Amino acid sequence: MSLFRKNLIDGEWVGEAGSRNINPSNTGDVVGEYASAGAEQAKQAIAAAKAAFPAWSRSAPLVRHAVLKKASDEIMARKDEIGRALSSEEGKRLSEGIGETIRAAQIFDFFAGETLRLSGELVPSVRPGVGVEITREAVGVVGIITPWNFPIAIPTWKIAPALAHGNTIVFKPAELVPESAWTIVDILHRAGLPKGVLNLVMGKGSVVGQAMLDSPDLNAITFTGSVGTGKRVAAASVEHMRKFQLEMGGKNPMVVLDDADLATAVECAINGAYFSTGQRCTASSRLVVTEGIHDRFVAALKERLEKLVIGDALDTKTQIGPVVDASQLKQDEDYIAIGSQEGANLAFGGERLDRETPGFYLRPALFTESTNAMRISREEIFGPVANVIRVKDYDEALAVANDTPFGLTSGICTSSLKHATHFRRNSEAGMVMVNLPTAGVDFHVPFGGRKGSSYGPREQGRYAAEFYTTVKTAYTFAG
Ligand code: ADP
């Protein structure tokens, strides 16, 4: 395969062939080769973004609108091709790859609209003859560091609001998914962004990412990834007194009460825990189930798990694609071993599968008879692995659901208005779902969590303005 993609620095495509991108459904298939930036190129990208900031931050809203709208239109027109490339490099099944691509188009469309709705406030001062104008201004150069599990949606929900609000960008995607990152940068570049406004620096986190953290010239960093790297982003950002935003792990509970509709609960669990191969920070990894429905729920879930088609992400019959790479597969298998050692019952799956092509195939795993104290209940696994925790009643379910260092999403399946309402109000999570999977969120409303899951303002929708702008309060005395 001959595809070779370069980095974009100051409007120029630069770089030598660096790393190869492997298809997790078929490790013999190389998706492409990608330039790998070093620390020096990261510095050049930051300098270019800094130089581009004054003009871009003062550009007319219609200029920004045009770029974002054009990007949205092209992504939508090419959704099948882009979605297919996404599934080739990440391994989520084709319909999910295309769905995520459509979502990226919708996000660009939303933020194109936002450029036309920018507004401020005019407030009378307490002093006579003085007016107070409150406006939002761009923050400056924003560093964007993203993970591999949503290769288009996450970069888009950071890039689109950053551009809409007049910031310039240095974007470092995850090493495993450069094709999706390159594609959106290419589209935005051709849509007419001035040079330096958006810079792409593909490369190693420990090199390029670290150079970004160490730079005094990044005014803000938005990061999605692991807790460990998130803490480094936080420490470096405090050192440089810059704004930062973190989206990290989850250990999301899905509560199933005795009065739940069984079919709904099973579908929520299958979708929430196993779709996208469980590689979602919003995945329902803890299934907290009350005694009266426990055995029926487990039996129905196992029956449904038996029917899942696990295979090549690009095969339209596939429901669960492969795990993203060898190290993530090892992590999943290690946790499956840990669960058994801790005394949980491996009720279904957990073994590697052979398919026509060599890939990282794993049968979704379900543990029962687990407790909330076990490591499989406390640590994020990030794979197709979930465990059932049996509880007495709603009160215990709520307590178990909240007993976690994380707080991204939570869910409850019940037909009781009282319990659904109480759970919505008392769940310690940023996003709460009633009779819906804990994963799968809209593109136009706030996304984010609490406790160890997130730090800083929410992402997406109108709430994104909080991070990508800074407020100015201006006083004018007019006599
Ligand atoms: P994951 O385990 O999901 O890959 P990481 O936190 O390692 O999560 O990666 C998320 C993003 O952070 C990736 O783009 C990765 O390259 C980047 N990254 C990793 N290490 C560092 C670092 N030291 N500094 C900045 N970014 C990093």
Distance CA 75, CA 248 (A): 27
What is the reported pLDDT for 478?
86
Alpha helices in 386-449 (DSSP H): 394-402, 417-426
Nearest CA to 428 among 450, 395, 447, 411? 450
Q: What is the pTM (predicted TM-score) of this model? A: 0.98
CA of 457 to the centre of ligand 1 (A): 20
Average pLDDT over residues 115-142: 96
For 207-228, b/e burial (b = at least 16 CB within 10 A) is: bbbbbbbebebbbbbbbbbbee
Rounded percentage of the chain residues whose pLDDT exceeds 90: 98
Residue 241: other Cβ atoms inside 10 A: 8
Tell me the per-residue pLDDT of 193-232, one tens digit each, with 9 for 90 and over: 999 999 999 999 999 999 999 999 999 999 999 999 999 9
Residue 17 reports pLDDT greater than 90: no
Q: Is the CB of 152 under 6 A from ligand 1?
A: no
Residue 140 reports pLDDT greater than 60: yes
Average pLDDT over residues 16-39: 94
Mutate which of 146, 229, 246 for ligand 1? The one with the most ligand atoms within 8 Å of its CB, which is 229
Q: Which amino acid is at 162?
A: A
Per the document, the length of the chain is 479
Distance CA 452, CA 408 (A): 8
Q: Is the CB of 151 under 6 A from ligand 1?
A: no
Q: Is 193 helix (H, G, I), strand (E, B) or coil?
A: coil
Confidence of residue 1 (pLDDT cuts 50, 70, 90): low
Distance CA 268, CA 288 (A): 13
Q: Is the CB of 203 under 6 A from ligand 1?
A: no
Q: Is the CB of 213 under 6 A from ligand 1?
A: yes
CA of 232 to the centre of ligand 1 (A): 10
Q: Is the CB of 344 under 6 A from ligand 1?
A: no
What is the reported pLDDT for 106?
98
On average, the pLDDT of the chain sits at 97
Q: Is the CB of 172 under 6 A from ligand 1?
A: yes
Tell me which residue has its CA closest to atom 2 in ligand 1: 226
Tell me the per-residue pLDDT of 334-369, one tens digit each, with 9 for 90 and over: 999 999 999 999 999 999 999 999 999 999 999 999
Q: Is the CB of 174 under 6 A from ligand 1?
A: yes
Helix (H) or strand (E) holding 4: strand 4-5
What is the reported pLDDT for 87?
98
User: What atom of ligand 1 comes closest to residue 224's alpha carbon?
Assistant: 10
Tell me the per-residue pLDDT of 122-131, one tens digit each, with 9 for 90 and over: 999 999 999 9
Distance CA 355, CA 374 (A): 32
Tell me the per-residue pLDDT of 420-474, one tens digit each, with 9 for 90 and over: 999 999 999 999 999 999 999 999 999 999 999 999 999 999 999 999 999 999 9
Angle at 256 between CA 318 and CA 267, to 5 degrees: 20
User: What atom of ligand 1 comes closest to residue 212's alpha carbon?
Assistant: 25
Average pLDDT over residues 305-329: 98
Residue 276 reports pLDDT greater than 70: yes
Distance CA 466, CA 257 (A): 37
User: What atom of ligand 1 comes closest to residue 204's alpha carbon?
Assistant: 16
Q: Is the CB of 232 under 6 A from ligand 1?
A: yes
Confidence of residue 170 (pLDDT cuts 50, 70, 90): very high
Average pLDDT over residues 67-88: 98
Residue 387 reports pLDDT greater than 90: yes
User: What atom of ligand 1 comes closest to residue 172's alpha carbon?
Assistant: 14
CA of 226 to the centre of ligand 1 (A): 7
Residue 168 reports pLDDT greater than 90: yes
What is the reported pLDDT for 194?
98
Tell me which residue has its CA closest to atom 7 in ligand 1: 226
Residue 345: other Cβ atoms inside 10 A: 15
